[in-house]
């Protein structure tokens, strides 16, 4: 059976509406694979698809589960979350568990059961190293009989064995956070940014040093140039218009404060004043981003330099800047931190007079010192990391800790921030506390008691069950490579990163805001559906070429049910239910002995299923 690679908008729309009858397009549910086969029939791919889809539609929820699934279900029910509040001897984990449990008690709800080992293992691989586990890794975890097998796995993922993958994943996460996904921005060098980030995460430098590096960096943006410093790429593309973007992004990313609205006026909903934006902006006025062309018309690199700032009034001793109020009045601003701390008004960089008397100030260095000393800094990164792992932060959005935006768990946020500072700002330690916590360990299946705990409906999160979320585009890319064992053949480093960039770029949307924001269409939209069904990555993943993943499965000595098991384990970290095995066997029979073709159809449907693309 040859798959039809052309697909009309009307057919896609039909398939979306058909699946929406049970759930939204990428809503996770057990029957996702069955509905993918129904979708095969709906878009007219073949009469074979119709026959299998009919069988799928007639199947009921009450069909018996596979032995392993039964065991997982039993294990999950047995481990009631309220009794399973393990903290692995870590006081920080105990603190998290107690704080979240207090919220459940106040809300009079019970948490969901604990996730099965397979669900948790898949989840932690995705969140820590950015991909699903391989079959070998999953089986190794399953076979472990140690009491602290989850702690052991977390230590392994954060240790030397996975240092390259850990660094790759977090380099991707922070590249997007710091400079976005726009490949056309010539004022930043993505390779240079990634080179700095890979080194930072490989060495696990403290978050304090990370912030200082990025806020104070000077030098050239491009690898191979004189004075290369990859960290400058955070600010190199944000220095136009007197550093307005640098002001907004620095406050947003490292302090969790949204100051961009106050550039032109006082904030309408909080205490943010226009003068605070320009006082913060004054810290960047000694810095300039110089374009280097090296004999061509194209920008080859950006050099971020610091030099004396004479002030807009020409008085370097009191180097002021001017801004205009909405009523037309002009005001003056000097460098003042968000807490009111002032530094020297001098625009001179630090130097000494002939008699040895020091004068001047390095404004960005002063700013970095005050950022890391601020209580907002650890709270901002704790909130960001919690949101990464749990799907929602304590505030929405995660980078808005203003007084108008009260956190869902203020004591937990403050307490974790204090403990993070006490732990010398160690990101891996913070990661360990979160992924070993009780809320992270819970099943994604809501109960009658906690079904109202739904932040997508505007409720403050209570973390009484794991919130479903779609994989990021980057995670899908890496997971498809792992599921099909294609990761074993690809190279590493910058070449692999550029190849992924090219694939991701098809989804990038630039919003054209003052902050240079972008996002992706990787959110269940029509472009994503088309990509998933017909894209080159899926075609490659489902290829039956000699020596490929499917060819190895098909030509192995395993029996048909074992082959189906292998596909499910590789993609979904579980074995299929009895009903799913029966359906797949029907497909093999309908294929009249074409085992490879049948396995290809099953594999294609599994990779396109809700369950594969959802982190649950």
| Cα–Cα distance, 590 to 594 (Å, whole number) | 9
* 325 and 226 share one domain: yes
Q: Choose one of 455, 470, 485: the last residue of a domain.
A: 470
Q: Choose one of 373, 398, 415: the last residue of a domain.
A: 373
| Cα–Cα distance, 259 to 105 (Å, whole number) | 36
Q: Which of 445, 409, 442, 443 is nearest to 86 (CA)?
A: 442
pLDDT for 532 equals 59
Task: Find the length of the chain.
Answer: 616
| Cα–Cα distance, 152 to 146 (Å, whole number) | 9
pLDDT in tens, 29-48: 444 454 445 444 333 333 33
| Cα–Cα distance, 363 to 368 (Å, whole number) | 9
| Cα–Cα distance, 261 to 277 (Å, whole number) | 9
- Evaluate if residue 422 carries a pLDDT over 90: yes
Burial class (CB in 10 A: 0-12, 13-18, 19+), 32: buried
* 576 and 607 share one domain: yes
**Is residue 177 in a domain?**
no
* 240 and 368 share one domain: yes
- Tell me what the mean pLDDT of segment 53-68 comes to: 38
**Is residue 357 in a domain?**
yes
pLDDT in tens, 460-480: 999 999 999 988 888 888 888
Tracing tokens 């960001």 back to the chain, one arrives at 384
- Tell me what the mean pLDDT of segment 181-209 comes to: 94
Residue 153, domain extent: 111-157+375-470
Q: Choose one of 355, 373, 391: the last residue of a domain.
A: 373
| Cα–Cα distance, 71 to 126 (Å, whole number) | 23
Helix/strand/coil for 288: strand
* 424 and 307 share one domain: no
Q: Are 217 and 231 in contact (CB under 8 A)?
A: yes
For residue 523, name the pLDDT band (cuts at 50, 70, 90).
low
pLDDT for 23 equals 39
Low-confidence winner among 191-205, 296-310, 549-563 (lowest mean pLDDT): 549-563
* 505 and 593 share one domain: yes
- Tell me what the mean pLDDT of segment 413-424 comes to: 98
- Evaluate if residue 506 carries a pLDDT over 50: yes
**Is residue 212 in a domain?**
yes
For residue 419, the tally of other CB atoms under 10 A from its CB is 18
CA 392 vs CA 383, 384, 395, 397, 458: distances in Å? 9, 9, 8, 9, 12
Mean pLDDT of the chain: 82
* 349 and 486 share one domain: no
* 221 and 362 share one domain: yes
Better pLDDT: 401 or 580: 401
Counted domains in the chain: 3
| Cα–Cα distance, 212 to 601 (Å, whole number) | 52
**Is residue 69 in a domain?**
no
Share of the chain above pLDDT 90, in %: 57
> How many CA atoms lie less than 13 Å away from 321 in the CB half-sphere?
23
| Cα–Cα distance, 373 to 412 (Å, whole number) | 20
Concatenating the DSSP letter of every residue in 457-521 gives: GTPPP--SSPPPEEPPHHHHHHHHHHHTTGGGTS--HHHHHHHHHHHHGGGEEE---TT--EEES
pLDDT in tens, 437-462: 999 999 999 999 999 999 999 999 99
Q: Which of 367, 363, 394, 366 is nearest to 380 (CA)?
A: 394
* 433 and 500 share one domain: no
pLDDT for 592 equals 78
* 579 and 497 share one domain: yes
**Is residue 165 in a domain?**
no
Question: Which residues on neighbouring strands pair with residue 332, listed in sequence order?
Answer: 322
| Cα–Cα distance, 167 to 276 (Å, whole number) | 36
Residue 450, φ and ψ in degrees, nearest 5: -115, 15
Helix (H) or strand (E) holding 200: helix 190-203
* 417 and 334 share one domain: no
Burial class (CB in 10 A: 0-12, 13-18, 19+), 8: exposed
**Is residue 171 in a domain?**
no
| Cα–Cα distance, 327 to 331 (Å, whole number) | 11
pLDDT for 339 equals 95
pLDDT in tens, 563-577: 889 999 999 999 998
- Tell me what the mean pLDDT of segment 594-604 comes to: 83
For residue 72, name the pLDDT band (cuts at 50, 70, 90).
very low
Low-confidence winner among 7-21, 42-56, 472-486 (lowest mean pLDDT): 7-21
* 35 and 144 share one domain: no
**Is residue 74 in a domain?**
no
* 14 and 145 share one domain: no
For residue 150, the tally of other CB atoms under 10 A from its CB is 21
For residue 308, name the pLDDT band (cuts at 50, 70, 90).
very high
Helices (H) and strands (E) in the chain, counts: 28, 11
The beta-strand segments (E) located in 511-613 are: 518-520
**Is residue 290 in a domain?**
yes
């Amino acid at each position: 059976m040859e798959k039809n690679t052309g697909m009309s908008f009307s057919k896609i729309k039909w398939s979306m509406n058909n699946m929406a009858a049970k759930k939204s397009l990428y809503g996770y549910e057990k029957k996702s694979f069955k509905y993918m086969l129904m979708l095969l029939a709906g878009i007219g791919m073949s009469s074979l698809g119709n026959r299998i889809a009919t069988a799928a539609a007639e199947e009921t929820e009450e069909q018996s589960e596979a032995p392993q699934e039964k065991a997982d279900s039993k294990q999950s029910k047995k481990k009631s979350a309220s009794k399973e509040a393990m903290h692995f001897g870590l006081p920080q984990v105990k603190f998290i568990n107690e704080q979240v449990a207090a919220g459940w008690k106040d809300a009079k709800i019970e948490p969901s059961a604990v996730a099965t080992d397979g669900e948790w293992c898949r989840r932690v691989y995705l969140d820590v190293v950015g991909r699903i586990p391989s079959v070998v890794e999953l089986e190794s975890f399953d076979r472990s009989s140690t009491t602290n097998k989850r702690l052991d796995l977390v230590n392994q993922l954060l240790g030397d064995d996975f240092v390259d993958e850990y660094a790759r994943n977090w380099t991707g996460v922070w590249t997007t956070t710091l400079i976005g996904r726009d490949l056309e921005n010539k004022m930043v060098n993505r390779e240079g940014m990634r080179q700095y980030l890979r080194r930072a995460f490989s060495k696990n430098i403290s978050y304090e040093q990370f912030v200082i590096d990025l806020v104070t960096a000077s030098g050239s943006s491009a690898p191979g140039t004189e004075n290369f410093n990859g960290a400058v790429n955070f600010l190199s593309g944000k220095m136009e218009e007197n550093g307005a973007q640098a002001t907004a992004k620095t406050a947003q990313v490292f302090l969790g404060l949204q100051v961009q609205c106050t550039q032109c006026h006082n904030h309408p909903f909080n205490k943010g004043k226009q003068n605070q934006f320009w006082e913060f902006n004054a810290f960047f006025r000694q810095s300039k981003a110089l374009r280097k062309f090296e004999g061509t018309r194209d920008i080859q690199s950006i050099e971020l330099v610091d030099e004396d700032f004479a002030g807009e009034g020409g008085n370097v001793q009191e180097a002021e800047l001017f801004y205009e109020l909405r009523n037309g009045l002009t005001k003056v601003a000097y460098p003042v931190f968000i807490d009111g701390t002032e530094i020297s008004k001098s625009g001179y960089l630090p130097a000494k007079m002939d008699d040895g008397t020091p004068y001047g100030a390095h404004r960005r260095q002063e700013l970095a010192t005050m950022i890391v000393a601020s209580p907002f800094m650890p709270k901002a990164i704790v909130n960001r990391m919690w949101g990464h792992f749990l799907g929602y932060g304590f505030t929405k959005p995660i980078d808005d800790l203003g007084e108008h935006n009260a956190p869902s768990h203020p004591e937990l946020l403050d307490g974790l921030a204090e403990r993070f500072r006490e732990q010398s700002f160690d990101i891996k330690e913070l990661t360990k506390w979160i992924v070993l916590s009780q809320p992270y360990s819970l099943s994604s299946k809501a109960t009658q008691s906690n079904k109202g705990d739904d932040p997508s409906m505007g409720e403050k999160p209570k973390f009484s069950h794991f919130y479903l979320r779609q994989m990021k585009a980057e995670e899908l890319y890496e997971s498809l490579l792992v599921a099909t064992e294609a990761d074993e053949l690809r190279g590493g480093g910058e070449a692999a990163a550029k190849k992924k960039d090219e694939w991701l770029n098809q989804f990038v949307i630039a919003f054209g805001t003052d902050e240079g924001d972008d996002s992706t269409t990787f959110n269940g939209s029509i472009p994503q559906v088309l990509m998933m069904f017909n894209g080159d990555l899926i075609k490659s993943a489902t290829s039956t070429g000699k020596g490929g993943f499917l060819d190895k499965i098909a030509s192995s000595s395993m029996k048909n049910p074992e082959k189906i098991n292998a596909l499910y384990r590789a993609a979904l970290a579980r074995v299929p239910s009895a009903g799913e095995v029966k359906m797949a066997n029907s497909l093999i029979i309908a294929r009249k002995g074409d085992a490879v073709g049948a396995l290809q159809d099953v594999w294609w449907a599994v990779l396109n299923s809700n369950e594969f693309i959802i982190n649950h």
